Amino acid sequence: MGHQNGPPGVHPILHATCILQIVTNATHHWIQKAVGLMLDTKRDTTVETSDEGGEKFVSTQKTGDESGNTVIVAPPEFRFMYPEFLPDPAMETRNRLKEKLERMDMLQRRSVIEIPEFYTGSVMAVTVSDANSPNKFARFVGICIQRGGSGLRAWFILRNVVEKQGVEILYEMYCPPIQKIEVLRLERRLDESLLYLRDALPEYSTFPLDMEPERRLNNLVVPINPLKVKLRPRPWLERWERQNLQGVEDLNLPQRFYDKAEKVAKPWEKYDLMLHYRKTIPAEEQEKIFAEVQSQLQQQELKRKMRRRRGSDNEQ
């Protein structure tokens, strides 16, 4: 008597037929789901809203649910323009209610003070209230060398060389004493962090305190500055040869420094999907967050432009 496959008491042909039916149903289900996603993609529409001056704001409307309700999808560049709206990805600190209340407070603060788009490498000016200053205000100009934090704890660091002395100030983005934030030169650099400017020559971090804003020729594209800075000779504040820096010239170190850097390197981390997952917010959640704040950000921008237009008309 030969070996019988399948459960005991069930004929092999009947068992194989049941398995084939299950596989067929599953395949039919996934085909329907794929077709539905393709149709949803075709139903996506791009909507452009403009103010009186002709400025356009692009958003995507997607009818993704069965009831036909329209879902607003924020532009993908929002995650780079407003990273502070994304919560801290550490699961042990996540609190959905706290995060939503913080976003409401952030939008309320943005309705009072304009926080423009900026990136690491942008030259900025920040004016804060200072009771010890003669005019009760203090203004500092510098290059943004790093930004981080999430929610109301978002921050950025400005650096400038004043009287041959490097000066850095860390500002909390939503701190009440901040009266004005200006972007004098909007650009990006090759690296996400420019802390190596602390060990670079002073001319890379020197900006006049009375610097005027530069006019952008193309408002749709943020330029990337390909500048490579030259570091001073060692000793340095950090082992920069162990970091994959793109905006630094050749360090001209002995080979033993690069050999040690290769021993402590972890090239496999860029392939670690779980590590990447723990350090980021899922794309679906990002879309929900930015769709929640997009309309209010656009309304605030339109109101500011209307106030500026009224002010210019009154001056004329």
Q: Mean pLDDT throughout 34-61?
A: 47
Tens of pLDDT, residues 205-241? 999 999 999 988 767 789 999 999 999 999 999 999 9
pLDDT given at position 220: 74
Last residue of one domain, picked from the residues 27, 44, 73? 73
Give yes or no for a contact between 110 and 300, defined as CB atoms under 8 angstroms apart. Answer: yes
Which of the four pLDDT bands, split at 50, 70 and 90, describes residue 52? very low
The token duo for 152 is 């109301």
Q: Which of these, 181, 168, 175, 176, lies nearest to 213 by C-alpha position? A: 181
Q: Mean pLDDT throughout 248-259?
A: 94
Domain membership of residue 138 (yes or no) is yes
Which of the four pLDDT bands, split at 50, 70 and 90, describes residue 307? confident
Domain membership of residue 316 (yes or no) is no
d(CA 20, CA 40): 30
What's the one-letter identity of residue 47? V
pLDDT given at position 188: 95
Write out the residue range of the structural domain in which residue 53 sits.
15-73
Same domain, 217 and 264: yes
Say what the pTM is.
0.76
User: In the predicted model, is pLDDT for residue 259 greater than 80?
Assistant: yes
Same domain, 162 and 221: yes
Give yes or no for a contact between 127 and 171, defined as CB atoms under 8 angstroms apart. Answer: no
Tens of pLDDT, residues 61-88? 554 555 555 556 777 788 889 999 999 9
Give yes or no for a contact between 189 and 204, defined as CB atoms under 8 angstroms apart. Answer: no
Tens of pLDDT, residues 186-202? 999 999 999 999 999 99
Same domain, 255 and 113: yes
Q: Which of these, 164, 125, 128, 155, lies nearest to 143 by C-alpha position? A: 125
Q: Mean pLDDT throughout 110-128?
A: 94
Q: Count of domains in the chain?
A: 2
Q: Mean pLDDT throughout 276-285?
A: 89
Same domain, 188 and 53: no
Identify the three-state secondary structure at position 224. strand
Same domain, 67 and 80: no
Which of the four pLDDT bands, split at 50, 70 and 90, describes residue 11? low
Name the average pLDDT for the chain. Answer: 82
Strand partners, 156: 147, 171
Strand partners, 259: none
Domain membership of residue 6 (yes or no) is no
d(CA 265, CA 295): 44
Domain membership of residue 176 (yes or no) is yes
Last residue of one domain, picked from the residues 23, 50, 73? 73
Last residue of one domain, picked from the residues 31, 46, 73? 73
